[in-house]
A and B are shown apart, each in its own frame.
Chain A
Amino acid sequence: RKEVEQDPGPFNVPEGATVAFNCTYSNSASQSFFWYRQDCRKEPKLLMSVYSSGNEDGRFTAQLNRASQYISLLIRDSKLSDSATYLCVVNNRGGNTGFQKLVFGTGTRLLVSP
């Protein structure tokens, strides 16, 4: 089982639509959680951290359910510029080394059309 699982999509939505992405993670000891955005052939960029209490940043809302090991991202009023791949990321402590490290999902591709 992958450490972080996401539906690869693509999700094709019209401008103005609301779209939701889900992610599950396998390590119950995961310490922190993020959504990153990656544009084609570019490095990933932090979109937002995810907390159990839920957090919102403009049109973006993220939620964490630790009991279910489930993370979500909701995008409201989609813009053309939201087209990208959204990566679900967890921060784990490495087994042998104790180092913290980011573990990435494969990403969910979003295509917003006019």
Chain B
Amino acid sequence: GAVVSQHPSRVICKSGTSVKIECRSLDFQATTMFWYRQFPKKSLMLMATSNEGSKATYEQGVEKDKFLINHASLTLSTLTVTSAHPEDSSFYICSARGTAWNGYTFGSGTRLTVV
């Protein structure tokens, strides 16, 4: 149980375009979703936390207008990287928590390359 499906797993986009990443909880209700970014050989850095039906809370230094997070339902959260630039190239991972258990379930990650 407790599976989070994240897609796409890999995306290459042109500079200036927007990319949407989806995370779906398949067998539980994800009341809280966390979005992380990981640069090569670095730790996962939390970008934002979202609760279903509420606005996301962004970590210091993360531009909310650039990284749009929508958590409109208990099974779906999306992260949209707007006007992507090469420096946005990274590994983006979501993680979900539900009400039924106290753990964190991670999606499989999205590798974004902006050219």
Interface residues of B in 61-115 (CB under 8 A from A): 91, 93, 95, 103-104, 106-109, 111
- Are A97's CB and B107's CB within 8 A? no
Q: Which residue in B91, B95, B108 is a CB contact (below 8 Å) of A102?
A: B95
Q: Residue-by-residue, is A40-76 near B (CB-CB < 8 Å gives 1, otherwise 0)? A: 0111111000000000000000000000000000000
Contacts of B107 in A (CB 8 A): 43
Q: Which residue in A45, A94, A96, A104 is a CB contact (below 8 Å) of B43?
A: A104
Known: A99-B49, A101-B49. A43 touches B57 (CB 8 A): no
Interface residues of B in 20-44 (CB under 8 A from A): 32, 34, 36, 41-44
Taking the closest CB of chain B, its distance from the CB of A27, in whole angstroms, is 14
Contacts of B43 in A (CB 8 A): 4, 87, 104-107
Size class of the B contact interface (CB-based, 8 Å): 20 to 34
Size class of the A contact interface (CB-based, 8 Å): 20 to 34
CA A8 to CA B93, docked complex, whole Å: 21
Contacts of A102 in B (CB 8 A): 34, 44, 46, 95, 104
Interface residues of A, dominant DSSP: loop
Contacts of A105 in B (CB 8 A): 43
CA A8 to CA B34, docked complex, whole Å: 25
Contacts of B49 in A (CB 8 A): 94, 97, 99, 101
